[in-house]
Amino acid sequence: MPVNDIYPYVVPMSYFDVPLVAGGLRSLDDFGIVRPVGHNVASVIVRVSDGLLKNVHRDGLAQLGMDVAEAERTALHNLSTLVTDGKSFKRQITKTPSGFHYIAWVGDWLTASCILWPGLYEWARKLLETEDVIVSIPQRQLMFVCSRGDKAFRGVMREYLQGVVKGMDKTISAEFFTLGPAGVSAFHEG
């Protein structure tokens, strides 16, 4: 039986800052299936049920008929289905005279999680007309994919994004991530 209600959910590490109570949480494993993404961001596998998000834990995988690897693959498959159905996210490309183009994604609670979409690099590379792609997830409902450009371009983009999310809740990271055929990793100036 396919499990179509689990997804990877990208969150800031502060998501896991829960006050320790007697017998309470001690490690990231207590939150379920968690994977670091970089820049103090992590992905946690969640299940959507009755409008609530519930973290998927290793000890509950047997009920779903899968192991951790299968749960992660299924979550990415379900995210891919949302991306390709074209209904959940709006995307707008802006092409600049400099050739450093960018695409804003907006949508629902999984928009920033699309940084994990396996097809993101190929999709972005073609539209941005470059092999050097970076991505930012400043807020849960916003993802910003752009040409790596130069330091000045990245500075302008970073400042712009900080202005967009100023005062918003559910912020994730002001940092850029490198996007490549193998996925995402932390981007470092240099």
Q: What is the pLDDT of residues 1-56, one digit of tens each?
A: 568 999 999 999 988 877 665 566 567 888 899 999 999 999 999 999 888 999 99
Mean pLDDT on 71-94: 93
In the listed set 28, 52, 83, which residue is the last one of a domain according to the structure? Answer: 83
Name residue, tokens 């849960």.
140
In the listed set 28, 49, 83, which residue is the last one of a domain according to the structure? Answer: 83
Q: How many CB atoms lie within 10 A of CB 127?
A: 16
Identify whether 170 is part of a domain. yes
Its pTM stands at 0.92
Do residues 44 and 32 touch, judged by C-beta distance below 8 A? yes
Strand 90-94: give its sheet, edge to edge. Answer: 90-94, 102-106, 142-147, 133-139, 176-180, 183-186
Do residues 103 and 128 touch, judged by C-beta distance below 8 A? yes
Q: Structure tokens of 188?
A: 């470092």
Identify whether 57 is part of a domain. yes
Distance separating alpha carbons of residues 130 and 151, to the nearest angstrom: 16
Instruction: Say what the pLDDT of residue 29 is.
Output: 83
List all residues 6 or more positions away from 141 whose beta carbon is below 8 Å from its beta carbon.
Answer: 106, 107, 108, 109, 111, 112, 170
In the listed set 36, 52, 83, which residue is the last one of a domain according to the structure? Answer: 83
Identify whether 1 is part of a domain. no
List all residues 6 or more positions away from 111 whose beta carbon is below 8 Å from its beta carbon.
Answer: 89, 105, 140, 141, 142, 143
Mean pLDDT on 120-124: 97
Q: Structure tokens of 184?
A: 């995402």
Q: Which domain holds residue 57?
A: 6-83
Could you report the per-residue pLDDT of 136-172, keeping only the tens digit for each? Answer: 999 999 999 999 999 999 999 999 999 999 999 999 9
In the chain, the percentage of residues whose pLDDT exceeds 90 is 78
